[in-house]
Amino acid sequence: MNPSPTHAGRPGIATSSDELPSTAPADDPAPAGEPNGDVLTVDEAAVFLRIGRNALYDAIGRGDVPHRRIGKTIRLSRAALVQWLGRSCGAASTRGL
């Protein structure tokens, strides 16, 4: 029984890809170039929303887009963005009626 892989006598250091834990592929992988995590950076969220990075920063600055500031970084939730899109699209479609 080998409790953990070793590398030059140091426990816990994998020496080959065979010793690394496997990761299962996502059920519904994102299209090439599109981020697939639950928490997104501004750049990833801009790709997800298919808008420019600066346009997203402007919307964040106006408080239009749900986001969190963690120190000097900004993070966005994919689920919150999808909900926000659903709400904002519904509101926009009823304008002018």
pLDDT digits (tens, 9 = 90+) for 35-68: 677 999 999 999 999 999 999 999 999 999 999 9
Domain residue spans in the chain? 34-79
pLDDT of residue 95: 52
At 95, which amino acid appears?
A: R
pLDDT of residue 24: 45
Lowest mean pLDDT among 1-15, 36-50, 76-90: 1-15
For residue 20, pLDDT beyond 70 = no
Read off the pLDDT of each residue in 76-86 and give the average, rounded to a whole number: 95
For residue 76, pLDDT beyond 90 = yes
CATH 3.90.105 describes domain 34-79? yes
Query: Which distant-in-sequence residues (6+ apart) come within 8 Å of 37 by Cβ?
Result: 44, 78
DSSP sequence for 29-84: PPPTTS--SSEE-HHHHHHHHTS-HHHHHHHHHHT-S--EEETTEEEEEHHHHHHH
